[in-house]
Chains A and B, each alone.
Chain A
Amino acid sequence: MGNNKRFNYILNECLEHMLAGDETIEQCLRRYPEYASELGSLLRTAVTVKKAVDIKPSADARARVRFQLQSIMSKPKAEKRVRAAVPRWAVAVCVVLLVFFLSGGTVLAADGSMPGNPLYPVKLITENVRVSLTGSEEKKAELYALFADRRMAELDYLVAKGKSADIEKVAQRLYKNYTMMGELSFVAGTESVTTASVPAPMLGAALASDNSTTTQQAETTGAKSIAGNSNASIRAKLKQILVYYASTQSDKIQKLLDSDKVPESAKIALRQALQTSGNNYQNAIDNLDDQ
């Protein structure tokens, strides 16, 4: 066995024992004193890496993924075979649609749920479905703005309740929301915002409200839907909505960043969200202007 091969063997042998927890670095080095210097620093590096990546997913994350997986598995075998021929996003949409129609009341109830509530995962899934079912990029931007406002309301709720453990998760979702908004590409004339497969969110009230945490009221009161108007007026309306949300949400994020009730770990995600929101709202608004 060459020197390199022998050293690789020894390094791995020590690692296996250490990862299994039946030997310390020092014990290993005593067995191989001739390699102690080089071996010691490599093993310490390995331990540092192992400790850093030894994370456990939250119970919340595990439950969400399990819920979605069970929804998919609940479909009959025959349908699954058909599904294999269609894109993955369409599969997910169909499955969650099934859940949506079979449990409409649950979905409605979930809309107002907050993190920690058993229905909260349903709320997140329903949001994904709404975006997936929406063909128009303009309407997706509107949805992302709406969902960002929901996240803001959730952050307010969590701060008020002192649930610091959940704040960062919601801040991450907010950041992801803005990222998804930034991925939208508006192509003039290729899609009509009035052909979306889901009812248009009713955001008009949000424009008249000074408090963005009233999103739910905005969604459910008799505010005028932007659907049904001409594309030009819809874009103008959407632009108003985006400008409004861009302003109110950045203010709220800044307030959260200034709050000592928000843990430092969550502020990292909030700063990312703030930066991303500014850029992506501006891009979305610019895209609307270009058409």
Chain B
Amino acid sequence: MQEEQNLIQRARQGDQDAFAQLYENHFDKIYRYVVLKIGNMAEAEDMTQQVFVKAYESIDSYRWQGIPFSAWLFRIAHNQMVDFVRKESKKKTIPFDESLPVLSDSNPEHEVEVKMEMEKVVLASRKLTGAQREVINLRFAGGLSIAEAAKTMRKSEGAIKALQHSAILALRKTLLVGE
């Protein structure tokens, strides 16, 4: 944590290496978060890039004040996604339900298998409420703790736990995971 604060401080002073390190530390989880939201690799790359460009441009406005850097990044990502989904839903051009991510796996059979599971989860998560979906996304794709997810969503930890419970319950019904 102290190391991250140090990186942030250096990045705010214009140290590009420090920001590059922050990028390396957080790229995977932001990418996963975006992929789970839109289920399309090409769009996910663009969106992830935009999140980090936005973070770089706005890092002067970041203040620690109890909000972890990851929570700040996910808020940026969330806002980008809201804009994206609003734009796309108006145009109705991207068939979300048909899009799939591409994985970096050298075993094609395993990759197809994982993709099918991913597709099931992406489709199932679309049946959740917005808040439930956000909790699942932050917790499982983003890897945030309950406390970090609560900071990101500006809710209490108790509310996040309740949302997590109801979301998994709803996913269980849709995914029909064996009892």
Chain A residues packing against B (C-beta within 8 Å): 4-5, 7-9, 11-12, 15-16, 19, 37, 40-42, 44-46, 48-59, 61-62, 64-66, 68-70, 72-74, 77, 80, 83-84, 88, 91-92, 164-165, 168-169, 172-173, 175-176, 179, 182-183, 263-265, 268-269, 272
Q: Which chain B residue lies CB-closest to A173?
A: B42
Contact call A66/B23, Cβ cutoff below 8 A: yes
Contact call B41/A172, Cβ cutoff below 8 A: yes
Contacts of B62 in A (CB 8 A): none
Contact call B114/A52, Cβ cutoff below 8 A: yes
B101 interface neighbour in A12, A55, A80, Cβ under 8 Å = A55
Q: How far is the CB of B51 from chain A (nearest CB, A)?
A: 10
User: Per-position contact with A for B117-138: 1 when CB-CB < 8 Å, else 0?
Assistant: 1101100000000000000100
Contact call B41/A169, Cβ cutoff below 8 A: yes
Contacts of A19 in B (CB 8 A): 143
Contacts of B121 in A (CB 8 A): 48-49, 52-53
Is B82 part of the binding interface, using a Cβ–Cβ cutoff of 8 Å? Answer: no
A8-B164 contact, Cβ under 8 Å, with A69-B53, A72-B56, A73-B16: yes
Contact call A49/B140, Cβ cutoff below 8 A: yes
A70-B20 contact, Cβ under 8 Å, with A12-B161, A48-B117: yes
Provide the bound-state CA to CA distance between A70 and B104, in Å.
Answer: 23
Q: Which chain B residue lies CB-closest to A83?
A: B57
A8 interface neighbour in B23, B54, B117, B165, Cβ under 8 Å = B165
Contact call B106/A49, Cβ cutoff below 8 A: no
Q: How far is the CB of A63 from chain B (nearest CB, A)?
A: 11
14 more A-B contacts (CB under 8 A) besides A41-B179, A88-B50, A168-B102? A5-B158, A7-B165, A8-B162, A8-B165, A40-B179, A49-B136, A53-B32, A53-B140, A55-B32, A55-B118, A64-B45, A83-B57, A264-B112, A265-B112
13 inter-chain pairs at a CB distance below 8 angstroms, sorted by A residue, are: A4-B165, A8-B161, A11-B165, A40-B179, A45-B171, A45-B172, A48-B175, A49-B136, A53-B35, A55-B101, A61-B41, A68-B49, A183-B93
Q: Which chain A residue lies CB-closest to B49?
A: A65
